[in-house]
Amino acid sequence: MGLVTTIQDIEKNFHVLQSAISEGDDRAIELLRNGKSIVVGNMGGRLAFAPSRFLGYRDNDIDQHVEERSNRDGKETNPAIKKALGVEKSLNAPAESEFLRYCRGLGVAPPANQRQYWVLPDASALVDLEALKHDASVGDTEKVQLQKARLGQGNFRAKLEAKWGGCCVTGCKVREVLRASHIKPWKDCNNGERLDGDNGLLLIANIDALFDRGLISFDADGSIIRTKALSVDDLEMLTGCTMARIELSPQQADYMRFHRELHGFD
């Protein structure tokens, strides 16, 4: 059986496993419980999880996987998933907390492994919001502010709109396509940084996606920079420019330095 090559391949297997789990298939639940490399997805507004060892083989199913399990290896599937998703798995404390909560809901306890996670794009905010919802150290009023900030809403977005007036790269002022994007990623911030208007850019959706995935960043002088994985032609097609420069305050420059280091630009 071949390995997955696209995110669609992964999502197809994800749905197969989740269907089996929802039907109470103990084999599927056991596969999940023992996973060490986990993909996190969004199933109709709910977090769901699946192990890479199941997801990594194209057109997989539970019967086939259990029968051939002894011949299957995460050393094959993990690189395939990394290539398909374009990102490396990593330790992720919010995802780990939600995975353990999910397993408790299934009536199982995972082994004390050090798990690593890939979070699919449509599940990223949901992981953070669920973790915030269960954080007893944060008061209700602050939770509301943080929830809105994570969704690019509320006071955080208002601060960015007041500063930039439109997309800080293109100047676009169509509010419906503008995203309030954190420079230092949410998962790496403390709560003060999550609400700090200096930790944000107002970007059109295409540029926000490139920035969030680390395909572009901005240099110390505010000039746009790209990874080798993004061609000059693709940069121009997706952003409308190949050379752009934004004005960064000293505080924003500090956050941007973190972004560059995180994504290997520095």
Residues 119 and 58 in one domain: yes
Residues 206, 109, single domain; the answer is no
Residue-level pLDDT at 130: 93
Averaged pLDDT, 150-177: 95
119 with 60, same domain?
yes
User: What pLDDT shows up at residue 27?
Assistant: 96
Q: What is the mean pLDDT of residues 224-243?
A: 92
Query: Would the pLDDT of 230 be above 80?
Result: yes
**Which of 75, 104, 123 is at the close of a domain?**
123
Whether residues 170 and 249 share a domain: the answer is yes
- Residue 140 bridge partners (DSSP): none
81-136: pLDDT as tens digits: 999 998 889 999 999 999 999 999 999 999 998 999 999 888 999 999 999 999 99
Residues 49 and 88 in one domain: yes
**CA distance from start to end of the chain:** 40
Q: Are residues 172 and 232 in the same domain?
A: yes
User: In the listed set 74, 107, 123, which residue is the last one of a domain according to the structure?
Assistant: 123
User: Last residue of a domain, which of 102, 123, 144?
Assistant: 123
Cβ neighbours of 214 (radius 10 Å): 19
How many domains does the chain fold into? 2
- Residues of the domain holding 194: 152-262
Mean pLDDT of 191-198: 96
Q: What is the mean pLDDT of residues 174-188?
A: 95
H or E element that contains 217: strand 216-218
Is 214's pLDDT higher than 90? yes
In degrees and rounded to multiples of 5, residue 204 shows phi and psi of: -65, 160
Same domain for 110 and 178, yes or no, is no
Percent pLDDT > 90 in the chain is 89
Residue with tokens 């992720």: 92
Q: How many helices (H) and strands (E) does the chain have?
A: 13, 7
Same domain, 112 and 216: no
